[in-house]
Copies of this chain bind each other. A is one copy, B any other.
């Protein structure tokens, strides 16, 4: 196998290896999400990473369609890697309509794939945690999903953050009443432009809007003004909004629902770190949203982008089923959140010493060493043993670099007398001829 020309050790652009430190941080976040989700009655499911491409395409928007990894498999099927967890979940729901107890509350943690431009904290392979409720088109379900995300975020977010809440129907109404005569495709382009507001600013959003047929600058500016203006108290001007929609009963109802949703989730909030705010400029780029939508930004790092988002998608399951199944859900961007934690806690923490390393001074004592290792592991101690079968000085250096607290040293003497020598790498203290029976009290 060894050739002169060595294979590259590179990972693909937008992909990365995770060090032990990063992998442990991610597992910790995932475990916290599992525990808070199960406590709230959300049930875990999993779906394959690979799906028929027809399952995936045409559900997000034109941009995400282009980003899906598509290919033909060994059976010449058109397949693709999932780009989110929501679309496969809606297929799952349609496939299990006969057995799911509705409303069905599910969560799922896993990787998705998008061939988009990599940026800081944004990778082509990224881990998300999704919470969804299908089978209920109620304000209660909207509140439960957003509260659950706040509940999960509360224990892991590195600083204060705000969940900004809007409603797609209200936003569409405001777009249609400001920019008259838009077809659905043009309207979705306007939505995608508004979705970029936090990232690129108002002027750039207006520039994108002007590329849509029939949109004039004054209109575009007036729309942005409408979406971002607030009353003196900093809240939305609900009165003005209700009067704009006074002739439209459906929109009036949605405005009241949004107001009640934000008020209820604020009341239920369990964490000092999390605030909620109604915000008409929240759009969400994906095409499948039909009601409430939300995004979450770090208060001290708004430019970092959203760490959690979602919304109501009442039409998604009907791609797969004649039965209407309303749904609402949201994701926590686990990898984005970990990048945010890194951003805030940039100083590397010093790893505390712990555990016991068994050093072998004489190879004759090796099986004696393994027997002590077995005892340590039965006690539940973090424990390891020399595997190089080399010099004692190198074994100490290795134990030190691995941050072990104590080293048990074993030679012919120790083996003959069923004892051990033990050194504390933090204090430097060393004890000789400790009877094996006293092992437990010296390592815990």
What 0/1 readout, one digit per residue, does chain A (77-119) give for beta carbons within 8 Å of chain B? Answer: 1010000000000011011100001010110000101010000
Is A398 among interface residues, defined by CB-CB distance under 8 A?
Answer: yes
| Contact partners of A95 in chain B: CB under 8 A | 9-10, 17
Say whether A45 contacts B73, CB under 8 Å.
no
What are the residues of chain B within 8 A of A288 when measuring CB–CB?
A: 1
Write out the residue numbers on chain B whose beta carbons fall within 8 Å of the beta carbon of A140. 366, 370, 385-387, 389
**Count of this chain's copies in the oligomeric assembly:** 2
User: Which of A72, A125, A377, A386 neighbours the largest number of chain B CB atoms within 10 Å of its CB?
Assistant: A377
User: Could you tell me the distance between the alpha carbons of A69 and B139 in the complex, rounded to whole angstroms?
Assistant: 44
Q: Is the CB of A12 within 8 A of B48?
A: yes
Q: In the complex, are the beta carbons of B1 and A18 less than 8 A apart?
A: no
Known: A140-B385, A267-B367, A381-B39. A101 touches B402 (CB 8 A): yes
A2-B318, A74-B115 known; A46+B23 contact, CB < 8 A? yes
Residues of B within 8 A of A51 (CB): 11-12
Q: A1-B319, A140-B385 are in contact. Are A12 and B77 (CB under 8 A)?
A: yes
Q: Are B377 and A270 in contact (CB under 8 A)?
A: yes
Q: Is the CB of A315 within 8 A of B103?
A: no
Contact with A387, one of B67, B103, B270 (Cβ below 8 angstroms):
B103
Look across to chain B and name the residue whose beta carbon is closest to the beta carbon of A397: B101
> Is the CB–CB distance between B315 and A2 below 8 Å?
yes
**A4-34 to B contact mask, C-beta < 8 Å, 1/0:** 0011111111011111101110110001001
A401 located at the interface, meaning its Cβ lies under 8 Å from any Cβ of chain B in the complex: yes
Q: Map CB proximity to B onto A151-175 as digits: 1 under 8 Å, 0 otherwise.
A: 1000000000000000000000000
Residues of B within 8 A of A373 (CB): 268
Report the stretch among A52-60, A203-211, A236-244 that lies at the interface: A52-60
- Chain B residue nearest to A38 (CB atoms) is B382
Q: Which of A6, A73, A151, A355 has the most CB of B within 10 A?
A: A73
Q: Which residues of B contact A304 (CB under 8 A)?
A: none
Rounded to whole Å, the gap between the CB of A98 and the closest CB of chain B is: 12
Residue of B whose beta carbon sits closest to that of A374: B268
Residue A383 is within 8 A (CB to CB) of chain B in the complex: yes
Q: What separation, in Å, do the CA atoms of A288 and B23 have in the docked complex? A: 27
CA distance A43 to B384 in the complex (A): 12
Question: Which chain B residues border A13 with CB–CB below 8 Å?
Answer: 75
Whether A352 is near chain B, meaning CB under 8 Å from some CB there, is no
Having A39-B381, A141-B387, one finds 8 other A-B pairs with CB under 8 Å, namely: A1-B58, A3-B319, A6-B94, A6-B320, A7-B91, A7-B319, A18-B47, A270-B378
Give me 26 A-to-B residue pairs in the complex whose CB atoms sit less than 8 angstroms apart, sorted by A's number.
A1-B288, A2-B315, A7-B319, A8-B54, A9-B91, A9-B92, A9-B95, A10-B52, A12-B77, A12-B79, A17-B96, A18-B46, A19-B45, A23-B45, A24-B44, A26-B46, A31-B31, A49-B111, A49-B125, A67-B74, A101-B401, A103-B387, A105-B384, A140-B385, A140-B386, A270-B374
Closest 4 A-B residue pairs measured CB to CB? Answer: A71-B71, A41-B384, A9-B95, A15-B48
Interface residue ranges, A against B (CB under 8 Å): 1-3, 6-13, 15-20, 22-24, 26-27, 31, 34, 38-41, 43-52, 54-55, 58-59, 67, 69, 71-75, 77, 79, 91-92, 94-96, 101, 103, 105-106, 111, 113, 115, 125, 133, 135-136, 138-141, 143-144, 147, 151, 264, 267-268, 270, 287-288, 315-316, 318-322, 355, 366-367, 370-371, 373-374, 377-378, 380-389, 398, 401-402
